Amino acid sequence: MPVRIQEHNFDLTQEIALLRKDDAAIGAIAIFIGTVRDLNEGAAVKAMTLEHYPGMTEKSLHDIVDQAKDRWDLKDALVIHRVGPLMPQDQIVLGGGYERASGRGFCGLRVHYGLP
């Protein structure tokens, strides 16, 4: 269950292929994409810079994936969280996964923004 922290954008098609690993038995993959909003607590957002705590961020995201794995029968999952300078509408987070038994692709990866 890979977790990645990165500054650069991600391509959804490439990430789904990475998650699928050429496994034709998979019938569905659930994907959540979080994007930067232009509003935060009533204040307009023109840009933001997201910094992180290397080591702790990865651990926290792994913990979230583990929680999802306990709750659903995930065969695999992927979490990508971007850091650094971001603009409204930019992709900031991806959470994706698929189930072990049915392949229906139901998952509930909750990703918390910022620290941890």
Partner 1 sequence: MKLHLRFFASIRESLGLAHEDIDLPENIKTIDDLRSHLITRGHPWTETLAKDKVLRCALNQQMVSVETALIDGAEVAFFPPVTGG
Q: For binding to partner 1 (CB under 8 A), which residues are involved?
A: 34, 37, 40-41, 51, 53, 55-56, 59, 112-116
Minimum Å distance from CB 16 to partner 1? 23
CB nearer to partner 1: give 22 or 41.
41
CB nearer to partner 1: give 16 or 31.
31
Minimum Å distance from CB 46 to partner 1? 15
Q: Which residues contact 115 (CB under 8 A, 6 or more apart)?
A: 52, 53, 56, 57
Rounded Cα distance between 90 and 9, Å, is 8
What's the Cα-to-Cα distance from 1 to each of 96, 105, 107, rounded to whole Å? 10, 15, 13
Minimum Å distance from CB 45 to partner 1? 9
Q: Which residues contact 71 (CB under 8 A, 6 or more apart)?
A: 108
CB nearer to partner 1: give 24 or 42.
42
